[in-house]
Structure 1
Amino acid sequence: MTGDERRPRTRRTPTWTTRRWLRVGMTGALVILSLLGVTGAWVLERTQTISNNLTDVRSPSLATAFRLETSLVNQETGIRGYGLTGMPDFLAPYRQGLADQRTHTRSLEELLHDDRARLNDLEAVRDAVDTWHENTAEPIAAAPPGAPSSLITQRVAEGKAAFDDVRVALENQQERLRADRVHARADLESTVTLRNWVFGAIALLIAVLAALVFEGLRRGINRPLDHLGAEARIIAAGDFGHPITPTGPADLRRLSGEIESMRRRLVRELAFTEEARLRLDVQAADLQRSNAELEQFAYVASHDLQEPLRKVSSFTQLLQRRYGGQLDERADQYIDFAVDGANRMQTLISDLLNFSRVGRVHNAHRSIELDTVLEETLSALSVAIEETGATITHDPLPALVADPSQMAMLWQNLIGNSVKFRRPGEVPRIHVTAAAESGLWRFTVTDNGIGIPPEYAEKIFVIFQRLHTKDTYSGSGIGLAMCKKIVEFHGGTITIDPDYRDGARITFTLAPEPPQVSGPTEPSEATGPDAERRR
């Protein structure tokens, strides 16, 4: 045994792709089906032609030939009766027979216009009838009525022999027409049998092709894909060291190779990711500790800032009450500046505390009636509403699972802004609507105030962003930013309607049951409507 013979045989790697297998298989199937389809179409057309010939030509031709025979018999009976009796009444069936003869002859000519042999048979019948008409029927019909003469009686006897020739011609015609119909019926039966065989073969071929396609797909695609899926599930279960063995057509083998390359890269990436995750865990712990310290610092700093501010505000107000008007005008102005600055700083710190608490301290979700919350908010804003004469209406509002304090802050900021930013010389009119939309509740607050330019649609929801100076309209610039934070905390979005021009229209959505977000609780001053009233 040579060295080549001792060398183990290696399996040949498939070179045909799935697309090539499918293309070749479908091409072969389409060729066979096309041939059978052409044959089937020819058989159908042949069946239809024979059937039409049988029903539209052969059967009507035979029936018309019988009617032609009946019309000629009527003529012969009428002429013979007239010749034997001389009574004019016998000429009526003769003349009716002549009319029927012409009609049936024209019908046969139209039906047999493509059949030269049957037209020749019709011509033979016509010649025999013409001979009988010329020698017998017409002379007898032309004779005067009355008693029959010996000449008429003789013509009647001679006419019987002439009409026998007509009968022979008719019998020959009918026999050939009957034979043609029998032959057409036999052709139709044989063609129908052939049609059934052809379509049976087509159905059988389709079934065989379907079975071959199914088996080919199972072996060439499903089985390799199942194998690949099984190995992928092993890897997905955590055995990232399990290699993937390529199987199937060339393209599936390439796919397996690419997945194997991806697996090897994932192993490398996972090792790097694990190392990065360990570092991130350390950094996340440090960040969490830093955030907790920062929140505590912000809370303590805000409270520590409020205490000296309260003192500054109190003493400057005392100075204002005790020495107002006793010093010069410049001193009174300085005292007013100090009082205003201390009050605004105190309001700003309170608003900042409320802003930072949204989603962190305020997190007492429960089912609430927004109608009730809105009415409580309007009661809290009653002074401003009475001063401006504002008219506030609303549609029936739904019940939601939400934080009641945050809902109160939301309505208070939106209604308060609509009252504050009113159009000079015009009574504020505010309307609130609510409608279900795609699993959320969509609310709108529409007023007839000074409006919001569309270019500031995003800016107004940013903290400390103001469209007017504090001298024109008071406020800290936190209200709408707080509204945005409250709405997003409750699973919704907020925006302005840029197409509304008769004032401002703010639209926001709220989820019926927003995600529960837990946050640290802390002892703090009262929040909600009472805290907002101090603004």
Structure 2
Amino acid sequence: METDTVQQAPATRPPGSVRDGWTTRGWLGAGSAAVLVLLLVLTGGGVWVLAHATDVNKRLTDRWSPALIASVRMESALINQETGIRGYGMTGKREFLEPYQDGVAQEGTAAQELARLTEGDERATADLARVREDSERWQTTTARPVSEAAEPTASAQQRTESGKAAFDALRASLTEQQNNIEAERDRARDDLQAARTLRNTVFTAIACVVLALIALAFAGLRRGVQLPLDRLRTDVREIADGRFGHTIAASGPADLRALARDVDGMRRRLAGELEFSDRARAQLDEQATELRRSNEELEQFAYVASHDLQEPLRKVASFCQLLERRYAEQLDDRAKQYISFAVDGANRMQTLIGDLLAFSRVGRLHAEDTDVSIEAVLRRTTNSLGMVIEESGAVITHDPLPAVHGDPTQLGVLLQNLISNAIKFRTPGEVPRIHLTASGQEDSAEGAGPRWEFAVSDNGIGIGPEYAERIFVIFQRLHTRDTYPGNGIGLALCKKIVEYHGGTIGLDADHAPGTRFVFSLPSARQDASVTESVN
């Protein structure tokens, strides 16, 4: 594992401060605002170009082209008038006046439409006025007199020269008018083509600008956000792989640089904590080694206590008893009492040493964890306590008992101590009644799995709630040895056995009369029924 010396992380400034520069949000906000302004300008230009093209198109299609058509209709109407007058003047027949009269009506209609279309254009208005004047002159000098004359032929012959001159002038005015309108229409057509070209150019430029903005935004995001994030992710992966000495380089906008500094500071703290953890682990290894050595010494001490210490005690008791038998006649009652005290003390010392050895061996010897049937353990325990049960007349009952996971020998010691205590501390004059129950529960500890809660209740003398904790302390007694025998180690041994199995044991202070001990044990790991033989 790679670690580096823990260094004080530099003080970080709030992301986005003036000294740090612009943040990602600042860059995105400024870029978005600039793009929005540019798009608004381009949109305005595009709208103007479209409006201009539409106006030019309307000028061509709604004004000058219809004006030219109206001028042509007006010319046709005047020609029809001239043809009708000439025919009427030559033949004197009234049916030749119909084309003339229709032409007069058509001329008026065409003149009105032409006036509406050319309104506002001085030259077109002047051309129309000149045509109307020339038409009125021809009407006054030729058309009306001939059409109203009693002798149309003679009248037409008299006005042939003047009528021809007047109509030629009218025809010249019409030609000039149509030439001017055609010129305006050609200019409008040229303007429309120019507007279309401008429109295509502007929209092409807008498309190019939009594409350039997209490319610029992509390049900016890649350079300003994606690449710094990729570098930061690569650095973090280096650290996640265990290379805690790898320094994280800060790059990109201010907030990403601040993030990189924070992550690097976290790396330094983790490196320091790992270094501390390594030192602590080394110390724990040393302590574990020392603890193993101490346990080995304790094992040696237990061997000495079980053999070398008990042997002198047995000799003391044996020789005191031999002394009493050999010199019985020479010893008075006081001497015999002293010898009895010495023998009893030696026996109690042997028993105490045996109990201490049993207490120290919990979890170290006979630790054969397996699935154990509690009913089988209970039957074996009652068989072991058969003489005591028979003498006291105790009645032991139980509910259906499950299988648990643990050491069968230690579980037997647990039940034996609880049942023997219930028999020992019975109410005088009453038959001891002991009942064992079991109920399932889900342990709250994470990963502990399902457990069983057991309860051993009796009708004995009971224990006060104030002694609920004291009774599980080794060598703590609530009665004198003269009242109840024992060394005060049985419940402490029960607590150590239950805790070795990962459970808890306690006194039910609300139970009355008598005593009720409650303890928990892990459920069996196999669903199949457990073999009831206990080795």
Task: Give me the TM-score of the superposition, normalised by structure 1.
Answer: 0.52
Corresponding letter in the other structure for 1:503: G
Residue 430 in 1 paired to residue 434 in 2? yes
Query: Where in structure 2 are the equivalents of 1:360-371 lying within 5 Å?
Result: 360-371=364-375
SS of 2:486's equivalent in the other structure is coil
The CA deviation at 1:441 is 0.9
SS of 1:372's equivalent in the other structure is helix
Query: Where in structure 2 are the equivalents of 1:133-532 lying within 5 Å?
Result: 231-245=235-249, 254-275=258-279, 277-278=281-282, 280-321=284-325, 327-438=331-442, 439-513=450-524
Q: Deviations over 1:322-373 (max 9, x none)?
A: 5557622211211121111111111111111111111101112333322121
SS of 1:367's equivalent in the other structure is strand
Corresponding letter in the other structure for 1:360: R
2: CA distance, partners of 1:393 / 1:468: 27
2: CA distance, partners of 1:378 / 1:225: 73
The residue that corresponds to 1:114 in the other structure is: none
Instruction: Work out whether residues 374 and 411 of structure 1, in 8 Å CA contact, stay in contact via their aligned partners in 2.
Output: yes
The CA deviation at 1:425 is 2.3
2: CA distance, partners of 1:423 / 1:220: 87
Q: Deviations over 1:9-34 (max 9, x none)?
A: x99431759xx99xxxxxxxxxxxxx
The residue that corresponds to 1:14 in the other structure is: 23
SS of 1:426's equivalent in the other structure is coil
Corresponding letter in the other structure for 2:516: R
The CA deviation at 1:262 is 2.4
User: Quick one: structure 1 residues 509 and 281, their matched pair in 2 at CA, closer, same or farther if it must change by over 3 Å?
Assistant: closer
2: CA distance, partners of 1:247 / 1:458: 63
1: CA distance, partners of 2:523 / 2:502: 9
Alpha-carbon RMSD: 3.7
The CA deviation at 1:502 is 1.1
1: CA distance, partners of 2:319 / 2:403: 47
Corresponding letter in the other structure for 1:463: I
Q: Deviations over 1:449-493 (max 9, x none)?
A: 111222222221121111222222111111111111111122211
Q: Deviations over 1:479-510 (max 9, x none)?
A: 11111111112221111112113111100011
SS of 1:492's equivalent in the other structure is coil
2: CA distance, partners of 1:355 / 1:222: 66
2: CA distance, partners of 1:421 / 1:220: 83
User: Quick one: structure 1 residues 224 and 345, their matched pair in 2 at CA, closer, same or farther if it must change by over 3 Å?
Assistant: farther
Corresponding letter in the other structure for 2:395: T
Corresponding letter in the other structure for 2:522: A
2: CA distance, partners of 1:228 / 1:340: 80
User: Quick one: structure 1 residues 279 and 359, their matched pair in 2 at CA, closer, same or farther if it must change by over 3 Å?
Assistant: closer
Instruction: Work out whether residues 299 and 353 of structure 1, in 8 Å CA contact, stay in contact via their aligned partners in 2.
Output: no
Instruction: Work out whether residues 464 and 509 of structure 2, in 8 Å CA contact, stay in contact via their aligned partners in 1.
Output: yes
2: CA distance, partners of 1:343 / 1:269: 56
User: Quick one: structure 1 residues 452 and 228, their matched pair in 2 at CA, closer, same or farther if it must change by over 3 Å?
Assistant: farther
Instruction: Work out whether residues 16 and 250 of structure 1, in 8 Å CA contact, stay in contact via their aligned partners in 2.
Output: no
User: Quick one: structure 1 residues 311 and 492, their matched pair in 2 at CA, closer, same or farther if it must change by over 3 Å?
Assistant: same
Corresponding letter in the other structure for 1:411: L
SS of 1:445's equivalent in the other structure is strand
Question: Post-superposition, which runs of at least 4 consecutive aligned residues in structure 1 deviate over 6 A?
Answer: 219-227, 247-252
2: CA distance, partners of 1:385 / 1:256: 76
SS of 1:431's equivalent in the other structure is strand
1: CA distance, partners of 2:395 / 2:408: 24
The residue that corresponds to 2:79 in the other structure is: none
The CA deviation at 1:418 is 0.5
Corresponding letter in the other structure for 1:471: D
The CA deviation at 1:231 is 3.7
Corresponding letter in the other structure for 1:413: N
1: CA distance, partners of 2:227 / 2:375: 63
The CA deviation at 1:389 is 1.6
User: Quick one: structure 1 residues 226 and 510, their matched pair in 2 at CA, closer, same or farther if it must change by over 3 Å?
Assistant: farther
1: CA distance, partners of 2:406 / 2:283: 38
The CA deviation at 1:271 is 4.0
User: Quick one: structure 1 residues 249 and 480, their matched pair in 2 at CA, closer, same or farther if it must change by over 3 Å?
Assistant: farther
The residue that corresponds to 2:143 in the other structure is: none
Structure with greater Cα Rg: 2
Instruction: Work out whether residues 228 and 252 of structure 2, in 8 Å CA contact, stay in contact via their aligned partners in 1.
Output: yes
SS of 2:440's equivalent in the other structure is strand
2: CA distance, partners of 1:249 / 1:494: 61
Gaps of 5+ in 1: 1-9, 22-218, 515-528, 531-535
User: Quick one: structure 1 residues 277 and 430, their matched pair in 2 at CA, closer, same or farther if it must change by over 3 Å?
Assistant: closer
Pick which of 406-415 and 324-333 moved more.
Answer: 324-333
Higher RCO, 1 vs 2 (CA within 8 Å, ≥6 residues apart): 2
